[in-house]
Each structure stands twice: as C-alpha cells, then as structure tokens.
Chains A and B, each alone.
Chain A
Amino acid sequence: MGLTGTHVGCEQGACGACTVLADGEAVRSCLMLAVQAEGMQLTTIEGMGAPGRLWDLQAAFLRHRAFQCGFCTPGFLASAAEILGSGRRYSREELRDLLSGNVCRCTGYEPIVEAVFECQ
C-alpha cells in the first residue's frame, strides 16, 4: 500500500513507534500479524489530517515543536488520538504516564505533553 508513515522501531512492543489505531484503539502494529487486522478499521498517520488541513493535535505539535526527527511522531499521534478521544481532561502528570508507552529520543517529551494537554 506504500504507507510508510508508521515506523518500525523495536519490534517488541516497547518503543511505540509502530502504534496505529485499530477500531479506534491504539495498538502496537509490530505485535499484530497482518491477517489479524482482517475486518478491522485501521487508522495510520496517513489518515490523520492532511497537508493544509491538519488535525488539531498535528497543528499543536508544530506550534510546540513536539517533533524533531519525527520517527516517534506517528506513534505518539496514534496514542494521543485514543487519549484525546476519551474526552477526559488529564493533568500533565497523568498525560506523562499515559504517553510513557511511546519513546522519543529527540524532544525530551515536554513539548509533546504540552501539545496533547492543550488539545484536551
């Protein structure tokens, strides 16, 4: 399908770079066999916003400089999609915990947490 936005990281479920939405729930795509996705609705980064029509969180990521190399970013957005989709307002501390399943080597996490916090 040529959708290269979802990234291969640890292939063990720990880093979160591969996170996508399956039926609206954030999952590790590295821990699902492709055949298991049959019948499910999958959303990857390519399905979140579009150039010129960014999703709120993508715009917030830009404003807060919440990505540098961008390798972890699609995974963070997928995880945040479920968090924001809950409709609940979390504290920054709680968001830090919720986002701890996605690893970033560049940003130090603060701008990511701020961007998600702002979009609640």
Chain B
Amino acid sequence: MKPPPFEYHRPAVLEEALEFMAEHGDQAKPLAGGQSLIPLLAMRLVRPSHVVDLHRVAELRQISVADGRLRIGAMARQRDLEHDPRMPGLVRAAIPHIGHFQIRNRGTVGGSLCHMDPAAEWPAVALALDAVMVAASVRGRRELAADDFMLGPQLTGLEPDELLVEVIVPVRDEGFGFAEVTRRGVGDFALVGAACQANAVAVFGTGPRAQRLTAVEDFLDSGGGTRAEVLALAATEIQATDDLHTSSRYRREVAARLVGAVVAASRTPGGLP
C-alpha cells in the first residue's frame, strides 16, 4: 500500500521544528530514520496530517560527554553509535541486533525509543543504563527517566507538542551482558531478549514494553546467588504475553534463561554470554 496523504515539512533548525509542533503537534508525526514510521504510513496504521522530517536539524545528531554523562542526539543513527567508542559496551553489544545493517544506516536511537516496538532493543538498554530522555518544546526542556518515558507500543510520555531531542546515559565502566533470541539469526525481530548493566536488568520482547526486573535487581544488590536462582527469580517476575509469534510460556522461560546468561556475562570480561 501507499501512505495516506500528508503534508511534508523539513525544518532547518530545532526552533522551527518546535514551533511547528506547538502549532500542529497533535496532528503531526516526527520523521527520524523512517525505518519504523514509513512502514506504518505504508500500511496506513497511522494517518498524520503532517510529517516533520528532522534530518536537517544538525543539532539533533550531536553526541557529547560532559560531567560523566553521555548525551546522544535523538537523530544519531544506529550505525554511527555502533562504532562510536564513547558508547557504553552494552549499547555497542545491542545495536548489531537492531534489524539489518541497511536498517541501521537510516534508523535512529530517538526513533527507536519513540516507536517503542515491544521487541526493540533500545528500550531495554535504556532501562538497564538508567537513561534519561530529554523532551523539548517551545515551553522549554524537561528530563524523563526511561521508565516514565516508555509507556507502551508507540506510546511515550511526550506531550503532543514535544520532541525527544537527547538520550542521556551515565558514563560508567561496568560489566554488562546482552542477549536476544530470534527465529532466524541476526536481523529478525527478537522473540525475547535481556540486557544487564552491573545490577540493572531488563527484558524485552516479553510483553507490551521492556520490563525492568526490580526483584532480580534487589537480589543482585543484596549479594546475588547462583545463576539458577537468578533464573528462577526472573521467571516469576517476567510478565509475558501470547501472540502470533510465540507463547507467553516460551517468552517467560527463554527470557529467564537469557537473564541468567546476561547477569553471568556482566560478571565476566567481554560481556557477551
């Protein structure tokens, strides 16, 4: 199918984009890499009156480090972050799993976090890294913790007039682990996955949105235990759903195993189970 009719806008600077969103935000969809939005448009699952292409807004692609925090512009491409040595190990471990390299050549971190596909890697990585999302509008900027930003599929804590402009992650040199299971190998959507950074643990693909496993984290904070204990605890905490791809039982059991694996990996150099 072809997209429904819409007006296309291409602001040159952030100010212009925010002014447009203030005026038309409730009828507009921002266009980042297009790897998720354009399929939605093609399938007519969304029908925005306006599409706001952010590619010209250079400010949104900047990456900087200050005060022990890594500030990643929302329009930073997956492919650029994949090879950026400033990125935390967990980010560089997760990104190669995002689609295929052709998708990563256009797709952006901001786009992934705003699209909030239940099987996406970035939401779980953001949770495990205690990432903070910066929302901007003509009214100013505000920061949202990842858990407050990420509400559900295609649902974020952004107001209609806001754009996600930056993702901030603390710079910490800690053990990490990342794993996902797909049907066909790299490139396919994850059936389930897990991310771990120090004692922070999140799963994805299990339900409507990535889930932070606070009971598992408390267990690790209090000294942890065997891999089997971590796995068993994760299995009770994970909220899993059935869908046409696989069952909730599969999700729960496999995700729990992945949790055991990524926690173990975070305790060993290299980080990959």
Contacts and interface: CB of A to CB of B under 8 A. Distances in A.
Interface in A40-71: none
A76 to B, nearest CB: 11
Contact of A100 (B8, B10, B105, B184): B184
Contacts of A113: none
B34 interface: yes
Contacts of A31: 34-35, 38-39, 106
A13 B53 contact: no
Interface size class on chain B is: 20 to 34
A27 B187 contact: no
A79 B38 CA distance: 20
Contact of B106 (A32, A35, A79, A97): A32
A79 B102 contact: yes
Given A82-B101, A98-B101, A100-B186, A12 B8 contact: no
Nearest to A23: B105
B24 interface: no
A82 B39 CA distance: 24
Interface of A: 11-13, 16, 19, 22, 25-28, 30-33, 35-36, 79, 82, 96-98, 100-101
Given A16-B100, A27-B106, 12 more contacts: A12-B39, A12-B43, A13-B103, A16-B102, A25-B79, A26-B102, A26-B105, A28-B103, A31-B34, A33-B8, A82-B101, A101-B99
Q: What 4 A-B pairs come out closest when comparing CB atoms? A: A101-B100, A100-B187, A12-B39, A25-B105
